[in-house]
Amino acid sequence: MTDLPLSINETQEGLIKKKFSAVELVDSYLERITKDNKDLNIFLTITGEEAYKKAKEVDKILRYKDIKILSDFPLLGVTVAYKDIFLTKGVRTTAGSKVLESYIPPYSATVVDRLEKAGTIMLGKVNCDAWAHGSSGENSDFGKTKNPWDNNYVAGGSSSGSAAALSANMTLTSTGTDTCGSIRLPANFNYLVSLKPTYGAISRYGVIAMASSLDTVGPMGRSVDDVRRLFDVMKGEDGFDSTVKNINWQKQVKPKLKIGIAKEFLEEGLDPEVKENIHKAIKVFEKLGIEIKKVEMPSTKYAISVYYIIQTAEVSSNLARFDGIRYGEKRTFFGEEAKRRIMLGSYVLSSGYYDAYYLKAMKVRTKIRNEVDTIFDKVDSLIAPVAPTPPFKIGEKTNDPLKMYLTDIFAATANLAGTPSMAIPYGFSKNNLPLGFQLLGPRFSEYTLFALGEMFEKETGYKPQVAKI
Amino acid sequence: MGSLSKDDVLHVAKLAKLTLSPKEIIKFQEQLSKIIDYVSQLSEVDTLNLGPTSQTTGLENVFRQDEVKPPSFTNDGYFAVDKILNKEE
């Protein structure tokens, strides 16, 4: 196949109309992976054998020309690449770390199970910053992932491989995790749509924990429609992650929507290209008849500080289980960033510093959360950049951890408040690198965000695009 | 607030059971000090009447029903369970 379909709709239509078979789809994706993976370093494990087995099952199901096929298997024939932090039964799962280089999980994550049952075909496990610690993909113990749009640039992290696999057209969909922008940032750097869901919307069972009060898992795709279809399958209680809530989802969207704009997100510390682009996006929403309302978020400037105290504290505790006895290798196998975060976390939790750092950060988190909640009493969504700059060059921030941490300055608020946010691609920089923005919403407002995203796609004539490589 | 001594770095490494090379000690001392200095901005925030946030869902004490399920199979009147170790392991 020369032209791979770029959406779920197109893929399933092609399968049902017999334009191509699932086996042929797998052929094409594996061919692309084989050709470009060495250079871009996206897949850590390729599960070709399993993919063919599943594709044959999919082709078998397709023979029963029943219209019910898609209600029984809503994601029939959809290929997926899992960030290598999702446990996959019998398939190596490394979390991007040498500590787990040879770890083979005995069970699969809830999300993996659900996507499997919905008819997806797993192509493999993709690279990420080790333990999901990073904003660029450069912290993987298995080498950095390059951005397929321009391989001198970072793919964005920590779900670097999940995004690059899509822009390199090596899969139709992927999954990621977002503790502070790790789904949204790489999506933004690769011209993709992605959702960081409400904390408690999707089970994290079987996903290696980073910072448990902030971790979320979510889908990545090339359109709002694809992301929504994945979300529909992934969401809801599973009996294994007690933070998940079953919600009576409000799919009907209010006729008059309001989007908030905050100067804290749109003026300070922004690259001029990103700034100009987001103001153009705001105009599009205005044209759609959406009321744009100014709001104030004075506490968001503390979000990164709060985040880097709470997150590292939780990291130091979650990574304590890697003692070389139960899972994988000894602690000497931890890479530099993991060590840095474990040290920071242990420091802010240690005797004499707990009140000044950890407890203080938890209190400021309350302040930020209250501020966010008050704003969402007035508006349905907030528009913000995903990152302060377009994709940056490989190596540009690696010697300065603080500079790297500040990449996530616009991402932190949604994680601290436990609210959803969707990254949407929009335009390209003068260097022809992807740009975009994020739409934040109140807890469990995913379907409003999808509706806003689709209105935007329609108005701008959005078409999925992959990098030319 | 905001700077770590070499002893602080060694103490924290000990708490976290991490072994550091002499080079790493110097590097981490500098980098961690810089980060701690940055996050110390929180001391300027008034949090007098605020409690800490440790979670955002509002859910508390989530329990499942404590139901007794019949065993999947029995052998000679005993419970039988699935094998948990495979030969190759």
Judged by a CB distance cut-off of 8 A, whether residue A313 touches chain B is no
Q: What are the backbone angles phi and psi of residue A194, rounded to the nearest 5°?
A: -155, 155
Q: What is the C-alpha to C-alpha distance for residues A211 and A13, in angstroms, rounded to an integer?
A: 40
CB of A133 within 8 A of CB of A341? yes
Residue B60 pLDDT: 87
Instruction: List the single residue in A200, A239, A316 with the smallest CB-CB distance to B16.
Output: A316
Active-site annotation holds for A83: yes
Residue of B17, B52, B59 lying closest to A366 (CB–CB): B52
pLDDT-based confidence at residue B88 (cuts at 50, 70, 90): low
Beta bridge partners of A218: A176
- Both tokens assigned to A256: 């008059």
Q: Which residues pair with A43 in a beta bridge?
A: A126
CB contact burial A311-322 (16+ within 10 A = b; e otherwise): bbbbbbbbbeeb
pLDDT (mean) for B49-75? 87
Q: Give B-chain residues touching A308 at CB under 8 angstroms.
A: 35, 38-39
ipTM: 0.90
Torsion of CA A211, A214, A216, A220, to 10 degrees: -100
Neighbours of A89 (CB within 10 A): 15
**Beta pairing class for A434-440 and A43-46:** unpaired
* A103 C-beta neighbours (distance < 10 Å), count: 16
DSSP string, A185-227: HHHHHTT-EEEEPPTTTB--TTB--S-TTT-EEEEEESSHHHH
- The average pLDDT across B11-31 equals 95
Whether residue A11 contacts residue A19, with contact meaning beta carbons closer than 8 Å, is answered with no
A318, containing H or E segment: helix A303-318
What are the sequence ranges of the domains in chain B? 6-44
Q: CB A448: neighbour CB atoms within 10 A?
A: 21
d(Cα A65, Cα A44) in Å, to the nearest integer?
37
Q: At A261, is the secondary structure helix, strand, or coil?
A: strand
Concerning whether A346 is annotated as a catalytic residue, the answer is no
| Å between A54 CA and nearest CA of chain B | 24
The pLDDT value recorded for residue B2 is: 64
Record: contact A369-B53, CB cut-off 8 A: yes
- Chain A residues within 8 A of B17 when measuring between CB atoms: 320, 323, 331
pTM value surpassing 0.90:
yes
**DSSP at A408:** G
Confidence of residue B84 (pLDDT cuts 50, 70, 90): confident
pLDDT for A239: 93
Nearest CA-CA partner of A187 in A168, A214, A162, A218: A162
Which of A86, A344, A291, A361 has its CA nearest to residue A205?
A86
CA of A7 to nearest chain B CA: how many angstroms apart? 33
A340 contact residues in B (CB cutoff 8 A):
28, 31-32
The rounded mean pLDDT for chain B is 89
Q: Inspect the interface and report whether the beta carbons of A402 and B35 lie closer than 8 Å.
A: yes
β-partners of residue A125 are A45, A82
Region B58-80 average pLDDT: 85
Q: How many CB atoms lie within 10 A of CB A28?
A: 19
Pairing state between β A216-221 and A193-196: antiparallel
Q: Please give the distance of CA B28 from its chain centroid, rounded to a whole number.
A: 21
Rounded to whole angstroms, the Cα distance separating A339 from A319 reads 10
- For residue B58, give the chain A residue with the closest CA: A243
Residue from A179, A215, A343, A364 whose CB has the most chain B CBs within 10 Å, to mutate: A343
Which of chain B's residues have a Cβ under 8 Å away from the Cβ of A416? 53
A252, amino acid identity: Q
Q: A347, A354, A397, A406: best mutation site toward chain B, by most B Cβ within 10 Å?
A: A347
| Out of A242, A364, A417, closest to residue B45 by CB | A364
Do the beta carbons of residue A247 and residue A216 sit within 8 Å? Answer: no
A436 vs A191: CA distance, rounded Å = 7
The residue with tokens 């921030």 is: A397
DSSP category for residue A414: H
- Contact at 8 Å (CB) between A158 and A134? yes
- Mind telling me how many Å the CA of B54 is from chain A's nearest CA? 7
Strand order in A43-46's β-sheet? A43-46, A121-126, A79-83, A173-178, A216-221, A193-196, A421-428, A434-440, A381-384, A258-262, A291-295
* CB proximity list for A346: less than 8 A, separation 6 or greater: A316, B12, B15, B16
Which residues between 29 and 48 in chain B have a beta carbon less than 8 angstroms from any beta carbon of chain A?
31-32, 34-36, 38-43, 45, 47
Q: Is the Cβ of B4 closer than 8 Å to some Cβ of chain A?
A: yes
Looking at residue B80, what is its pLDDT? 84
- The DSSP secondary structure of B16-42, one letter per residue, reads TT----HHHHHHHHHHHHHHHHHHGGG
What is the full per-residue pLDDT of chain A (469 aa) written as tens digits?
Answer: 778 999 999 999 999 999 999 999 999 999 999 999 999 999 999 999 999 999 999 999 999 867 789 999 999 999 999 999 999 999 999 999 999 999 999 999 999 999 999 999 999 999 999 999 999 999 999 999 999 999 999 999 999 999 999 999 999 999 999 999 999 999 999 999 999 999 999 999 999 999 999 999 999 999 999 999 999 999 999 999 999 999 999 888 888 999 999 999 998 789 999 999 999 999 999 999 999 999 999 999 999 999 999 999 999 999 999 999 988 999 999 999 999 999 999 999 999 999 999 999 999 999 999 999 999 999 999 999 999 999 999 999 998 998 899 999 999 999 999 999 999 999 999 999 999 999 999 999 999 999 999 999 999 999 999 999 8
How many contacts (CB atoms, under 8 Å) link A and B? 124
Residue A101 has a CB neighbour count (10 Å cut-off) of 14
**Closest chain A C-alpha to B65 CA, distance in angstroms:** 10
Instruction: Say yes or no: domain B6-44 is CATH 1.10.20.
Output: yes
Residues of B in contact with A201 (CB under 8 A): none
The pLDDT score that the predictor gives to residue A326 is 87
The pair phi, psi for residue A458, each rounded to 5°, is: -65, -45
Say if B68 is an interface residue toward chain A (CB within 8 Å): no
To the nearest 10 degrees (0 to 180), the angle between helices B22-39 and A303-318 is: 140
Task: Tell me whether residues B64 and A239 touch, CB distance under 8 A.
Answer: yes
